[in-house]
Structures are given as structure tokens and as C-alpha cells.
């Protein structure tokens, strides 16, 4: 090789250090900005998704239906005229009667009706929180998944950039007769594979954006590369910070327990009112004057009390009690399910932490290792294929770290939703607890 060619090639190789040297991925990503993007997307979904509106309207309808059972019944007003002849004239037995009938809750019925409406209100609050957290989970999972795709895309795009520059160098070498055409072809094949990966990831990203937009509409704020790292660093470790878990306060358990309480209150009210409610009636009778006989007025009172007899009523009470027992069994099953779900998600969470702990020593040396590879390639200590293989391994470590971070944040999100714990993942604030009256 001539001296001029050596000088030219040396300058090209030196320039490649800027190409293959580390450009810190996602440098400058703001933690506050990443959290704001996530929170804005979640808030938009809670405002706009029709799914949540439908659930909340159903709960309001359920509460209104229960509240309708509190009243004893509708008052009635009656008018009766007796003793009408064929010409609509009054007969000797003519009489006008006005009556008012007013049903009311008897002993024990009113307190049970009030308890039913109070329990229904608590059930609505509990299930509203469950519905809100379910939307938060769906949106959060999609957001984290898209954020991980953005990080993978960044790795692949950087890799593709390196291959493009490497192809420029190898083509120049080919012109100088320093490499064979097969080496250039190998680079072209590697670049084609990376370009295919890039296109596939971009399609997945676009699909994820459409799914998120279906939930949060025009208020979506999509993640950018580096948001996973930013959010992970803002949340910090939690594996050792948690105390014993009180599953009875978990939203899912509170939801099914409120169903159980409502079924019990419904059974109590049914047992007290299935045969009916008492009513009081007031009648005013008017006997008109007829043929010189003076008429008169009379006032009457009537109290109607239902008798607790009848096979139909007993069967309806049995039905209500059976539904109450079924609700209690479902609540017990939900408690078991949530415990199992918690243990499963916690295992995934610890697994993600272990993965990141194993990768962190390598990640911390990534810049130095990649720079060293670049220097060795520049000095001719390693071949280009060895250098690209080393870069591929480093990229593999970065992609593995992206997978681990995604698993970690997905696990934190699911634990946060399961336990309503905003310390595990950002959640909307809880509604104020109702004041219980003694």
C-alpha cells in the first residue's frame, strides 16, 4: 500500500471513532418530563374513554335502583261515589268517600332500608375506584410498552447508523483492493437485517400509538426514548421498603366485599319487607241530605299491617339469603385470587430487579468498552467483523436492559393497581373516604 493510501485510510479510521464511539443513549431525558408525559396520558384517558363513562353510569344506575327500595311505597288518593241511579241521580244509599292511603316502613324496616342505601353508596365508591385503576392499568401498560419500543428503536437505529458508516469505509477499502467483495456483502446482509428490525419496531410503535389514542384521544402524550430509565430512576427501589401487605384494603377485595355487604343488606331488607309494608289510611265519608233527611260527614282511620305468611314470600327470602351466601363465597375467592396474583407479580418484579442488577456492572462500563473496541479497530488490532460482533453484543446487553426495565415497570404498575399504592407507580389520587356515622 502506498504512503498516500495509508495516510488516507488512517484519517478515515480515525474519523470512525466518532462514528463507532459511544453516543450516550437517551442522554438528557428529563425525569419530570417523562412523568408528566405518563400522567397527562393517564389523565386524558380517564377523561375521555367511553369505557369508564359506561362503567360509572352503570354504577349510578345500580345505586339508584337500590335507593328506590328505601321508600315504603307511593301514597294514593281515592274518591268513591255510591248510590247512583240510572239517571245518575242519587239514591237513598248514596255516599261520597275520599280516602288517602300512606304506606310506611314498620319497625326494623326503615333502619334496614337506610343501611341498604348506605352500603350501596359505599359499593359505588369502591367499584368506581376499581374501574379507574383498571383504566390506569390498561393505559399504563400500553404506555410502558410503547416506551420500551422507543428504546429498542433507538438501539437499532444507532446500530443501523454504524453499519451505514461501516459500509462506506468497506466500499472505500474495496476500491483500494484491501478487502474482498464478500466482506462488503456480509455488511450489506447485516444492514438489511437491522433495517428489517427497524421497520418491524416502527410498525409496532405505530400500532401502540393507535391503541393508546383509542383510550385517551387527542390528550395522549406519547413516550420518547429514555422515558423508561427516567421513570425507573424516579421511583427508586421498593423491594425492601414495603411492610406486610393488607389485602383487605386492596381495591379488588374492597369491591367484592362491598358486593357482599350489599347482598347481605338486600337479604335483610327482603326478609323484613317481602310480605309488604304497613300503611295508614284516612277516609272522609259524606252522606248527602235526601228527601228532608239531614246528611252527615264521618272521618275514618285505617291501619293495615301485613302478615308474615305465604310460601312465595318464604321462597323469596331464601333466594335473597342464598345470593348473600354466594356473594360471600365470591369475596373469599377474590381474596385468594388477589393473593396469588400479588405473589406472581411480585416474583416478576424481583426477577426484573435481579436482571438489572446482573446487567448494571456491564451497563456502567458500556461506554468504556465500546470506546476500547473502536480504538482496537482503528489501530488494526481487531478485524471489522470482530468489531461489529462486539458492538452487536453490546447492543444485545442494551436490549436486554430495555426488556428488564419494561418488566420492572409493568410489574410495578400492576402491583400499584392491585394494592392502590402510588408509591409503586404514579396513580390518580384516591377519593376521600366517607365519614362513618356511629
pLDDT of residue 94: 78
Q: How confident is the model at residue 377 (pLDDT cuts 50, 70, 90)?
A: low
How large is the average pLDDT for residues 296-313? 78
Task: Provide the β-strand partners of residue 99.
Answer: 78, 283
Q: How far apart are CA 397 and CA 393, in angstroms?
A: 6
How large is the average pLDDT for residues 392-420? 91
How large is the average pLDDT for residues 351-356? 91
Q: How confident is the model at residue 146 (pLDDT cuts 50, 70, 90)?
A: very high
Average pLDDT, rounded, for the chain = 81
Q: Length of the chain, please?
A: 438
Share of the chain above pLDDT 90, in %: 23
Whether 229 has a pLDDT exceeding 80, the answer reads yes
Share of the chain above pLDDT 70, in %: 82
pLDDT of residue 381: 67
pLDDT of residue 2: 43
Contact between 219 and 44 under an 8 Å Cβ cutoff? The reply is: yes
Q: How confident is the model at residue 9 (pLDDT cuts 50, 70, 90)?
A: very low
pLDDT of residue 405: 93
pLDDT of residue 13: 36
pLDDT of residue 382: 67
Whether 321 has a pLDDT exceeding 60, the answer reads yes
Whether 277 has a pLDDT exceeding 90, the answer reads no
pLDDT of residue 7: 41
Q: How confident is the model at residue 140 (pLDDT cuts 50, 70, 90)?
A: very high
pLDDT of residue 88: 64
In angstroms, the Cα distances linking 2 to 5, 7, 66, 96, 377 are 5, 9, 95, 131, 21
Whether 24 has a pLDDT exceeding 50, the answer reads no
Q: How far apart are CA 265 and CA 259, in angstroms?
A: 10
Q: How far apart are CA 20 and CA 391, in angstroms?
A: 9
- Best mean pLDDT range from 83-97, 149-163, 265-279, 339-353: 339-353
Whether 56 has a pLDDT exceeding 60, the answer reads yes
Whether 241 has a pLDDT exceeding 60, the answer reads no
pLDDT of residue 150: 92
Contact between 246 and 257 under an 8 Å Cβ cutoff? The reply is: no
Q: Is the pTM of this model over 0.95?
A: no
Whether 339 has a pLDDT exceeding 70, the answer reads yes
Chain centroid, CA 134 distance in Å:
2
Whether 1 has a pLDDT exceeding 90, the answer reads no
pLDDT, one tens digit per residue, over 359-371 is 888 877 777 776 6
State phi, psi for 65 to the nearest 5 degrees: -65, -40
pLDDT of residue 54: 92
How large is the average pLDDT for residues 376-386? 65
Q: Per mean pLDDT, which range of 4-13, 329-338, 389-398 is the poorest?
A: 4-13
Q: How confident is the model at residue 402 (pLDDT cuts 50, 70, 90)?
A: very high
Whether 415 has a pLDDT exceeding 90, the answer reads yes
Q: How far apart are CA 251 and CA 258, in angstroms?
A: 10
Amino acid at each position: 500500500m502506498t504512503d498516500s493510501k495509508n495516510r488516507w485510510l488512517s484519517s478515515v479510521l480515525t474519523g470512525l471513532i466518532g462514528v463507532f464511539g459511544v453516543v450516550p443513549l437517551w442522554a438528557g431525558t428529563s425525569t419530570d418530563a417523562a412523568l408528566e408525559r405518563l400522567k397527562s396520558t393517564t389523565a386524558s384517558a380517564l377523561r375521555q374513554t367511553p369505557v369508564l363513562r359506561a362503567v360509572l353510569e352503570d354504577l349510578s344506575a345500580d345505586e339508584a335502583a337500590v335507593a328506590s327500595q328505601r321508600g315504603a311505597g307511593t301514597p294514593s288518593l281515592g274518591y268513591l261515589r255510591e248510590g247512583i241511579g240510572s239517571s245518575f241521580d242519587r239514591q237513598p244509599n248514596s255516599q261520597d268517600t275520599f280516602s288517602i292511603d300512606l304506606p310506611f316502613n314498620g319497625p326494623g324496616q326503615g333502619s334496614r332500608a337506610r343501611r341498604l342505601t348506605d352500603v350501596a353508596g359505599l359499593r359505588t365508591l369502591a367499584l368506581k375506584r376499581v374501574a379507574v385503576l383498571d383504566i390506569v392499568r390498561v393505559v399504563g401498560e400500553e404506555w410502558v410498552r410503547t416506551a420500551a419500543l422507543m428504546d429498542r428503536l433507538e438501539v437499532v437505529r444507532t446500530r443501523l447508523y454504524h453499519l451505514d458508516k461501516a459500509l462506506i469505509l468497506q466500499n472505500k477499502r474495496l476500491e483500494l483492493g484491501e478487502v474482498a467483495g464478500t466482506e462488503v456483502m456480509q455488511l450489506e446482509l447485516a444492514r438489511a437485517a437491522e433495517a428489517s428490525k427497524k421497520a418491524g419496531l416502527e410498525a409496532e410503535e405505530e400500532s401502540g400509538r393507535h391503541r393508546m389514542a383509542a383510550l385517551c384521544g387527542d390528550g395522549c402524550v406519547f413516550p420518547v426514548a429514555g422515558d423508561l430509565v427516567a421513570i425507573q430512576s424516579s421511583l427508586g427501589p421498593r423491594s425492601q421498603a414495603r411492610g406486610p401487605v393488607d389485602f383487605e384494603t386492596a381495591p379488588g377485595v374492597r369491591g367484592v366485599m362491598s358486593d357482599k355487604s350489599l347482598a347481605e343488606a338486600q337479604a335483610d331488607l327482603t326478609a323484613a319487607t317481602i310480605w309488604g309494608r304497613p300503611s295508614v289510611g284516612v277516609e272522609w265519608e259524606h252522606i248527602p241530605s235526601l228527601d228532608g233527611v239531614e246528611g252527615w260527614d264521618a272521618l275514618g282511620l285505617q291501619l293495615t299491617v301485613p302478615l308474615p305468611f305465604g310460601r312465595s314470600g318464604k321462597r323469596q327470602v331464601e333466594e335473597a339469603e342464598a345470593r348473600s351466601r354466594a356473594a360471600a363465597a365470591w369475596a373469599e375467592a377474590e381474596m385468594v385470587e388477589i393473593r396469588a396474583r400479588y405473589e406472581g407479580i411480585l416474583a416478576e418484579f424481583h426477577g426484573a430487579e435481579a436482571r438489572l442488577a446482573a446487567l448494571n456492572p456491564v451497563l456502567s462500563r458500556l461506554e468504556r468498552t465500546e470506546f476500547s473496541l473502536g480504538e482496537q479497530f482503528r489501530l488494526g488490532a481487531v478485524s471489522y467483523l470482530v468489531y461489529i460482533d462486539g458492538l452487536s453484543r453490546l447492543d444485545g446487553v442494551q436490549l436486554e436492559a430495555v426488556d428488564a426495565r419494561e418488566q420492572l415497570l409493568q410489574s410495578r404498575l400492576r402491583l400499584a393497581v392491585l394494592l392502590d399504592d402510588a408509591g409503586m407507580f404514579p396513580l390518580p389520587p384516591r377519593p376521600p373516604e366517607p365519614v362513618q356515622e356511629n
